[in-house]
Structure 1
Amino acid sequence: MKHSILSKYFKTFCSLSLLITLLSFAMGGCKKQKEVSPEFSVLRIYGAYHAYGPVIARFSDTEPFSYNFARDYNSQGEERRQNIHEDQVPFTLHVIPDTLPGHKPAFSMMLNLQKRASYTFIAGGPIASMDTMFFKDSPLPYFGVGDSACAIRFINFIQGGPVKIIQKGATDNVIAANLPYKGLVDFITIPVNRSIEYLTFEMRDAATDELLATWSKEVWPLVGSQQYLYRVYSVLLKGARGTTGYSEPEFAFSRLY
Structure 2
Amino acid sequence: NKDLESEYLKIYFPKLSVLVTGYDIIFFWVAGNDFSNFRIYKIPFKDVLIHGLVRDELNRKMSKSLGNGIDPMDVINNNGCDSLRLFLLTNSTPGQDIRYSNEKILASWNFINKLWNASRYVFLNLDDHFEFDPNFYKTDLEITNQWILTQLSKTQAYVYEKMNKYEFSLAGNHLWDFVWNKYCSWYIEFSKVNLSNDKFNYQTKQTLFYVLKEILIMLHPLIPFVSEEIYLNMMLKESILLEPICKWRNLFKYDVKRIY
TM range (shorter): under 0.3
Give 1 or 2 for the bigger CA radius of gyration: 1
| TM-score normalised by length of structure 2 | 0.22
Higher helix share: 2
Q: Give the TM-score normalised by the residue count of structure 1.
A: 0.23
| Larger strand fraction of residues | 1
